[in-house]
Structure 1
């Protein structure tokens, strides 16, 4: 297991076919724990368009990203198991993906491991209720995977503050209420903001007209809502929350001539926010409408950025320049997130409930 857990994901697929002994080793939950701790971060893409290929997930190995080409790719086909054709990515945790209908509504939420082709579908919301936010995470205290969702009544006013929070523990079989949510949970699809066992989001969404002074959070261990301080500097306008280098980050794209990237070095400490990157030689395609979403910092120190949902670029802090990456096989607009491929099986963590393969 020690040796196999250090191999690339493509090699492990071959190893599963060597013999029954190796296949059993690679199916062991202990191997999954070893492997997910050592598996390098990959880039996961999903296209937006509505044709059948929009159900295809593209997983790119980033080891050779500095060559300017991403051609070491796994094509992961989401077949009939996903109940709704228009699924979108929510977030990723330990190799598992949380999927949903783009506009939430009363549609179900799915959790899958695209590497193993395993899916489970969670029960829909109650009649008369609508889901206005959801997220996925892991509780280190109980060693359980959980989904949080925030509900509101269908007939409630848009400014209604009375939201109900529900938790679904994989393997538990049902949603359970944890009372009123302290914050609404407006989260667009494709956000990865899991840090320190908690999920984070911007109050009011990305395009927030007001200055933010705190960032709402939900801790999967304590199952409690909370908040952490925002940077002392006034931030307002177009902001994107993410994770860079294992730390919470904020990308401020308010100004049309530069973007600022803030990093919270010590979790929960307001004074630890640091403006680590100021990128002022931007790519101009749509000018002030251009969209930048930092995905991760590579070992080389370059920042991998989703640009306008149709390109992935590398920004070098040394050269102060951008390089486009060739994304082979992806020919339309797409979502992009950091994802760690793993062999964590829903047969184990969800005890096989409603499992489809």
Structure 2
């Protein structure tokens, strides 16, 4: 039986099993295939299967100034080779590099030292449905922003906001902070910008909240958040995470008592609930679609907490506690650990630290195992006035067709297509993938 004669639902099922790159090639098979693959129903079904099977996921690594790398990461937790990929936003290379043997370089990390200030491209938050939001900017700058799907190399430039506060009664403080997430009620990807102002009279700190909608391709301003100038409340808007349809960030009352503030992306309303502990060093992250908090006890121990039921304070659960004796020198090397993903059996968690080091933490045994990936870029350390910062971002991306109608990243970079041999090899790989998908679908039908 030819593929063109397959029942529509069986063909639909077969196509959901193909990786995104093969589906891009399949758009040219026929008008009906093209219409099927571009339909929102198909894109959602393909995403759901991809996320459930971990069949096409990767680590996306953003490196200073604007280099990006992809590392395949299959369901068996085996890492592939690190491959450089082209981003839609590119910054110039830094003009000055410092001697890598500079005595300020820590003895535990092999890194490139870069003289600052300089522009760089960063990932905002984490990947959502295979999309990442990237921003080009630097210290004190508000640069271009784009939504990007690296698995199909499609992107969408975000128009600059035209919404400004009345500067006659307010003074702008610094550049905006941004967060990226998904509104499941309206099936819309959104970018939220927070701009801090000081009211001239009365004295208030005002956070202007602006939301960009991909569906409408427009910005709008929602409620302002006002805090008395004399209060001790502080918003940590440089650490905003997305989870379960909401953005979350920490608020400190001035005495290391933390509250987690939320912004629902569908209702555009704020909420709050308490953090699980009162400690001076808390970092919000997301792990396994649950809100996660890393608690630092100096440089000798850190704890990991997850909120199993979003918004329910009683569901906070301590999943591990690692100290220096368990991890050797690991706890002394960095101050912040970012969780990326649970292992297949959920017994381990993959982390990345400030210096690009990847490692598994066994949450049952409270032990640490470092990960070595061939071709992984060295850590990057920026030096400015003898202070150190680490503009390095890592996120897990699933293969998806989100933003299929976006602009092509490679179109502007490559005027000529692949050679005949490359074209033939790509076609062969696509046919093999399609054969496997057909066999799997037929087995399910039986």
Q: Structure 1-normalised TM-score?
A: 0.80
Tell me which residue corresponds to 1:215.
260
Deviations 1:187-238 (A, max 9, x none): 437x6x322210112236xxx974234101111000112212211xx42222
1:14 matched to 2:29? The reply is: no
Say how many residue pairs are matched.
334
Give ranges in structure 1 of 5+ residues lacking alignment.
none
Structure 1 residue 103: Cα displacement: 4.4
> Is the contact made by 1:57 and 1:75 (CA closer than 8 Å) also made in structure 2?
yes
> Is the contact made by 2:83 and 2:375 (CA closer than 8 Å) also made in structure 1?
no
**Structure 1 pair 79–272 and aligned structure 2 pair: CA distance change class (3 A):** closer
Structure 1 residue 81: Cα displacement: 7.4
Deviations 1:127-157 (A, max 9, x none): 775543211122222222211111134998x
> Is the contact made by 1:119 and 1:346 (CA closer than 8 Å) also made in structure 2?
no
The CA distance in 2 between the partners of 1:201 and 1:237, in whole Å, is: 15
Tell me which residue corresponds to 1:112.
148
**Structure 1 pair 181–338 and aligned structure 2 pair: CA distance change class (3 A):** farther
Over aligned residue pairs, what C-alpha RMSD do you find? Answer: 3.3
> Is the contact made by 1:90 and 1:135 (CA closer than 8 Å) also made in structure 2?
yes
Q: Higher Cα Rg: structure 1 or 2?
A: 2
**SS of match in other structure, 2:48:** helix
**SS of match in other structure, 1:177:** strand
Tell me which residue corresponds to 2:250.
202
Structure 1 residue 176: Cα displacement: 1.3
> Is the contact made by 2:197 and 2:205 (CA closer than 8 Å) also made in structure 1?
no
The CA distance in 2 between the partners of 1:326 and 1:288, in whole Å, is: 17
1:64 matched to 2:76? The reply is: yes
Q: 2:356 aligns with which of 276, 286, 310?
A: 310
1:169 matched to 2:213? The reply is: yes
Give ranges in structure 2 of 5+ residues lacking alignment.
1-11, 93-117, 228-233, 380-391, 410-446
Tell me which residue corresponds to 2:4.
none
Q: Structure 2-normalised TM-score?
A: 0.66
The CA distance in 2 between the partners of 1:122 and 1:210, in whole Å, is: 40
Alignment of 1:37-186 (within 5 A): 37-40=48-51, 42-50=57-65, 54-65=66-77, 67=78, 70-71=79-80, 75-79=84-88, 86-91=120-125, 92-100=127-135, 101-103=137-139, 105-116=141-152, 117-124=154-161, 129=172, 130-153=174-197, 161-181=205-225, 186=236
> Is the contact made by 1:195 and 1:247 (CA closer than 8 Å) also made in structure 2?
yes
**Structure 1 pair 202–339 and aligned structure 2 pair: CA distance change class (3 A):** farther
Structure 1 residue 44: Cα displacement: 2.8
The CA distance in 2 between the partners of 1:325 and 1:139, in whole Å, is: 35
Tell me which residue corresponds to 1:328.
374
1:276 matched to 2:319? The reply is: yes
Structure 1 residue 72: Cα displacement: 5.2
**SS of match in other structure, 1:14:** helix
Q: 2:401 aligns with which of 328, 333, 343?
A: 343
